[in-house]
Structure 1
């Protein structure tokens, strides 16, 4: 049976854009449908900074990381843009975990160094340290907005078609090589057919797949990191992650590990990881949680002497969290799913797009860590939230 397109990508954020670029680069006919206008703020791919944090010990992630690093450079060269600003990254608070990461990165040929508390404090004066720190020179920040725009530009140059403001209402699997999609373009509702569909719709994944989809549950949260004004101009700011157990720590309310980075022109971005309110993405409140904002200010007073805790601006994004906080990258018949990036997927974007394209074309099989049929035995997301301070 004839189809409108060979490969249909639904969801034009970072992951969908990377997948479209990969498929088009291989010479495939591909159409990308994105529900919102370019540069929208309704998903998880907007803003100018994302933490490029290479601190992984798990071989599945280290492999993806190595490939992603290569591909970010290739995309930057092809697009004549700078997407990754390698300010370095420093992690502290979990000495044993940091040493495991240091060993894993060393084995993979990725440079890292362990710093004493004193050395870390001298080098990164905007932060306070109480433990040994892990410094990874290749870490830094990615420009999310520019990354999405560049990948879409390269995809269209390679022959892909991209349609914004096209909302997919329903996905129907007809056979092993036919998928029907109901689409609203704002003027009319129509049906598109494809030989294979790649779903990269983030917070809308479960709604589009339907209740019978056999993938891990995804919990959608609205997160509100803030940009603190820097205090003075002497401190050098790498990306950073600080591991503290949820609960009370030295009188501070700790909701989760803390991440941060310098966003030029906006300040020092600091946020809790995956602690926001559970939401319906179609009815997103865009409402920060006061006690979490207050706790971030208290954290900054204690741990970030290079910031002004009284001067800040909150920002908003969504997380699509699996319960074990591992991704879903798998093929289910004529549908390939990329979802559940749990607030730590952006650094891997081009490698994930490449892998999803390979799954869709039958050139790769699912990585066990990211299989849709895996058994989740350690629900990290739920356990962390259960330990967080209550009102």
Structure 2
């Protein structure tokens, strides 16, 4: 069988690439090793933060584009994908001042409020320092987003195949590769690898990638004590000069997941793991510290109600993404726990790479 493009990996990024490629008129076949809706990788779950609090130009370009594309995808599929409930950023005020300056240069709405004003508005949260509020942020309905991406891609002719592991990829020329599955071989002009935690296993011998570290992360949902409380999404950085934050493992992110509670988690500090040999069991000391954080900073929830979640991060040393092409093989990887918000724009970049275009230099595997 021959097609224009095979996409390997049916999570958020692969699905977005399939949508972007199919709407350009390419014949696209997406292969996913697990069943639809599985919980083994990094794209499952109901919600993700949609946060525009970046200072770097290339990330701001990408997230601004992503917001427009989320809206376009929602209109195309009739699904609501963004809940713009606002996002609050606190801790490390110097960094937040850089973000606000970048926003001002681009006309992105954001503003500082005092800790007391923030506590009055969001009574389920505690604040110690000035808070950067980004009203046009909030959360992505991640589960709906995956369904929407598939719906839109298939409407343009893409074919999605689940429970179809890829056993090998063979490069047969600058514009030709062969993808091997249990049911046969598929020849394509391009192969887009968006395999998450399996990227190095699948493509590491084909292309020169930076080191990708796979960790098992363990956020948790906590039960709100009062259903009338207003909850923005949030990011919170520890204060390196305050001993009260010494027990923190990393910055904390969180959001309301309707029907499940308030999600909170450390960022990118879980144990290194083999994606094929995960325990799915929380690391006790980190979970204990997360419960302590919630007790200190989220008085609107029951800190003792933690329901742990297990997911993977696949991270580069800088937490920058890898978006690059090597002959007929395009790779999207290393989304490092902050990639989901960018999903439809990442799909556009991957489609550009497949069509001979380029990605921002920050994301080159050869940087």
Could you say which TM-score interval applies, normalised by the shorter chain? Answer: over 0.9
Q: Aligned equivalents of 2:273 and 2:203: distance in 1?
A: 18
Q: Aligned equivalents of 2:41 and 2:228: distance in 1?
A: 35
Higher mean displacement: 101-110 or 216-225: 101-110
- The 3 A distance-change label for structure 1 pair 246 and 116 is closer
State the Cα distance separating 1:248 from its structure 2 match.
8.2
Residue of structure 1 in register with 2:297 after alignment: 303
Q: Aligned equivalents of 2:207 and 2:64: distance in 1?
A: 31
Q: Aligned equivalents of 2:239 and 2:18: distance in 1?
A: 39
TM normalised by structure 1 equals 0.91
Please state if 1:232 is matched with 2:226.
yes
Map 1:11-160 onto structure 2 (within 5 A): 11-160=9-158
Q: Aligned equivalents of 1:280 and 1:247: distance in 2?
A: 35
Residues 237-269 of structure 1 show CA distances to partners (whole Å, capped at 9, x for unaligned) of: 100011015798417511000001011111110
Q: Aligned equivalents of 1:190 and 1:246: distance in 2?
A: 55
State the Cα distance separating 1:233 from its structure 2 match.
2.8
Residue of structure 1 in register with 2:360 after alignment: 367
Map 1:241-256 onto structure 2 (within 5 A): 241-244=235-238, 249-250=243-244, 253-256=247-250
Which runs of structure 1 show a deviation greater than 4 angstroms over 4 or more consecutive aligned residues? 245-248
* Equivalent position SS for 1:240: strand
Residue of structure 1 in register with 2:186 after alignment: 192
Residue of structure 1 in register with 2:285 after alignment: 291
**Conserved in 2, the CA contact under 8 Å of 1:68 and 1:350?**
yes
- The 3 A distance-change label for structure 1 pair 132 and 16 is same
* Equivalent position SS for 2:247: strand
Q: Aligned equivalents of 1:269 and 1:326: distance in 2?
A: 24
Residue of structure 2 in register with 1:377 after alignment: none
State the Cα distance separating 1:106 from its structure 2 match.
2.1
* Equivalent position SS for 1:55: coil
- The 3 A distance-change label for structure 1 pair 71 and 310 is same
- The 3 A distance-change label for structure 1 pair 307 and 277 is same
**Conserved in 1, the CA contact under 8 Å of 2:207 and 2:326?**
no
Please state if 1:168 is matched with 2:163.
no
Q: Aligned equivalents of 1:246 and 1:276: distance in 2?
A: 20
- The RMSD of aligned alpha carbons is 1.4
Q: Aligned equivalents of 2:28 and 2:165: distance in 1?
A: 17
**Conserved in 2, the CA contact under 8 Å of 1:222 and 1:277?**
yes
Residue of structure 2 in register with 1:332 after alignment: 326
In structure 1, runs of 5+ residues without a counterpart are 375-391
Q: Aligned equivalents of 1:139 and 1:41: distance in 2?
A: 26
State the Cα distance separating 1:119 from its structure 2 match.
1.1
